[in-house]
Each structure stands twice: as structure tokens, then as C-alpha cells.
């Protein structure tokens, strides 16, 4: 038989070795975990004990909350809105605001601004409450010296603002109802409630004085322009603008709660807001257990890799 008619053999000319499966079944996974059970049985309870120790020694905080309602509807809507549409161009040229500065968003922006909070926080007693670890009652001096503070070791305005806004002050607003919640979370519950109410009162007074100053400046400018013009249409527009600014000034003088009405003032909280001790212990134990399981698989794959390399 010639080589051209010769048929190939029905089997390969080399030995065939079936490849091993790399997938692990649930039983294999359980065997891996159970073989090194000392890892997760040790790390889980150990992390839980550490969580208990941390939870018992963590400082306790209390949150005081006040519920507010915007009191600027009559300033920003209705007649003033129509007035703004009618004489908006003239008012813009004169630098006059029809009440948009008293909106809730602007009031909340002022509440969280550095310019407003710095004078409130840098009073001596408030600085001592914000930085208790830096004040020595025995020597009546600030103990932490920093070069940028110079000879005065008192915390700076920026430090006080950062400490207050990062973790102490929280402000939220319900967009549907417009209700605003202002909360302070501090270790002293009485101080938390007192500061919350003082902060709101200071904000209302600050915005009230701001509105009075703005209305006074606008009235002075409008009266000056009124004395200079003889055009009847412009004089009528100026009279209307003068009337609106006079109403704004009267409103600011008459209303103590200029920006926000206090629906529910802050009271001294009786229940701590943090730490959540039970949650801390459970989370710590679970984290330790997961770490033990992870190490089980790490050790298994390291051992498998070593065996494969040696064989």
C-alpha cells in the first residue's frame, strides 16, 4: 500500500492527560474554611471584644434640634413679585433688591457662612467649649502653641469654623414643605440646646439688621433721585419703589423672627445620639470574622501554589 493511501491512526500519537478542573465546589470551600477555622473563630470574637472596649470608652454625644419655618413669604411673593416685574429694570439700575435676599436659601447660606459663624464661635467661652483639650483651667491659658497664631495661642477663626461645621452643625430642609431643621451634636446636652437656640436668634437678628441697612440705603438713593427728576413716569416709579422699601424697613423693625419662625425650639436632649454601642460591637465582630475567612483562602492558595511549584 502506498503512503498516499495510508490512513492516519484512530488515536493521537501522544498520551492524553485530562485537565484538572480549577473550579471549587461548595464542599471544597467549606473544607478550606473549616480546615483553618481557628482564624475566624479567633479573629471574630477578638474584634468583638475590641469593639466593646472602643464603644465603652468612646465619648458620648447628644443632638439638640430646632424646627423652623421660613417667614419670608410676604416679602418675596405677591405684590412685590409683581412690582419686580413692572419696575425690575429701574430697580436693577438703582441696585435695589425686592426681597430675594431674604429667601430661605440665602438665609441658610448665611447660617453656614464663615462670615456669620466666626464672630459667634470666637467668643472666649465658646472657644473653650469647642477646644476643651487646648484650654488649661489651672493656668487659665491656651496650652497648644502654633507659629501661625503668634503670641496669642487662642484657636483661630478658621479652626473654630472647621471644628463647628465638620461634625457639630447640621442643617436640613424639606423641599416640599420648606421646613428647616437645625441641629447641634455636642458632648454637653445643655450646651447643645442653648447654642442651637442662640444660633437661630443670632441669625434672625443678623438678617434683620442687614435688611434694615439695605432698605435705608435704598431709600436714601431713591429720595435723591426723586429730587433730581421732573419726568412724571419716572417719579411715579420712584414713589412705588420708595413705598416697597419703606414696607421692607417696617417689616424688619416689627418682626423679631425675621427669617425663620421657631416652630419647635431646641430642648436639652436626654438620649445620646452616638456612639451606637450595640452596632459598633456587631460590626466589629462581623469585620473580624470576614477577615478570618479571607485569610483562610489566602493561606489555602499560598499553600496550593507552593505545592504546584514543588511538583
31 and 166 together in one domain: no
Task: Give backbone dihedrals phi and psi of 156, rounded to 5 degrees, phi first.
Answer: -80, 170
Cβ atoms of 196 and 62 closer than 8 Å: no
Q: pTM of the entire structure?
A: 0.68
Residues in the chain: 311
Q: Is residue 283 part of a domain?
A: yes
Give the pLDDT of residue 78. Answer: 39
Structural domain harbouring 306: 26-58+277-310
Give the pLDDT of residue 12. Answer: 53
233 and 99 together in one domain: yes
Q: Is residue 1 part of a domain?
A: no
pLDDT averaged over every residue in the chain: 78
Number of domains in the chain: 2
**pLDDT < 50 positions in the chain:** 1, 14, 16-20, 74-88, 93-94, 98-102
Give the pLDDT of residue 175. Answer: 85
Report DSSP letters for 136-185, one per residue: ETTTTEE----GGGTT--SPPHHHHHHHHHTTTEEEEE-TTT--EEEEEE
Q: What is the pLDDT of residues 276-311, one digit of tens each?
A: 878 888 888 889 888 888 888 888 888 888 878 776
Please, is 181 exposed, middle or buried when counting C-beta atoms within 10 Å of its C-beta (0-12, 13-18, 19+)? middle
Amino acid at each position: 500500500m502506498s503512503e498516499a493511501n495510508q490512513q492516519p491512526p484512530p488515536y493521537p500519537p501522544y498520551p492524553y492527560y485530562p485537565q484538572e478542573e480549577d473550579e471549587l465546589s461548595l464542599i471544597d470551600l467549606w473544607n478550606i474554611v473549616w480546615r483553618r477555622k481557628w482564624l475566624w473563630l479567633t479573629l471574630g470574637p477578638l474584634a468583638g471584644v475590641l469593639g466593646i472596649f472602643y464603644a465603652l470608652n468612646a465619648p458620648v454625644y447628644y443632638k439638640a434640634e430646632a424646627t423652623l419655618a421660613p417667614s419670608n413669604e410676604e416679602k418675596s411673593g405677591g405684590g412685590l413679585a409683581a412690582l419686580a416685574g413692572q419696575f425690575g429694570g429701574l430697580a436693577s439700575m438703582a441696585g435695589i433688591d425686592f426681597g430675594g435676599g431674604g429667601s430661605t436659601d440665602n438665609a441658610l447660606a448665611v447660617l453656614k457662612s464663615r462670615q456669620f459663624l466666626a464672630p459667634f464661635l470666637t467668643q472666649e467661652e465658646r472657644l473653650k467649649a469647642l477646644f476643651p483639650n487646648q484650654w488649661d483651667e489651672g493656668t487659665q491659658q491656651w496650652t497648644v502653641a502654633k507659629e501661625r497664631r503668634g503670641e496669642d495661642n487662642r484657636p483661630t477663626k478658621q479652626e473654630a469654623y472647621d471644628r463647628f461645621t465638620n461634625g457639630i452643625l447640621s442643617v436640613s430642609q424639606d423641599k416640599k414643605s420648606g421646613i428647616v431643621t437645625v441641629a447641634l451634636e455636642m458632648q454637653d446636652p445643655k450646651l447643645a440646646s442653648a447654642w442651637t437656640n442662640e444660633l437661630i436668634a443670632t441669625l434672625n437678628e443678623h438678617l434683620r439688621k442687614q435688611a434694615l441697612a439695605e432698605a435705608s440705603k435704598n431709600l436714601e438713593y431713591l429720595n435723591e433721585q426723586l429730587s433730581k427728576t421732573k419726568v412724571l413716569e419716572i417719579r411715579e416709579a420712584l414713589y412705588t419703589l420708595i413705598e416697597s422699601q419703606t414696607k421692607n424697613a417696617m417689616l424688619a423693625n416689627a418682626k423679631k423672627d425675621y427669617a425663620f419662625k421657631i416652630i419647635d425650639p431646641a430642648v436639652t436632649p436626654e438620649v445620646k445620639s452616638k456612639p451606637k454601642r450595640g452596632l459598633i460591637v456587631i460590626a466589629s465582630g462581623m469585620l473580624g470574622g470576614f477577615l478570618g475567612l479571607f485569610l483562610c483562602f489566602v493561606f489555602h492558595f499560598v499553600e496550593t501554589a507552593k505545592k504546584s511549584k514543588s511538583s
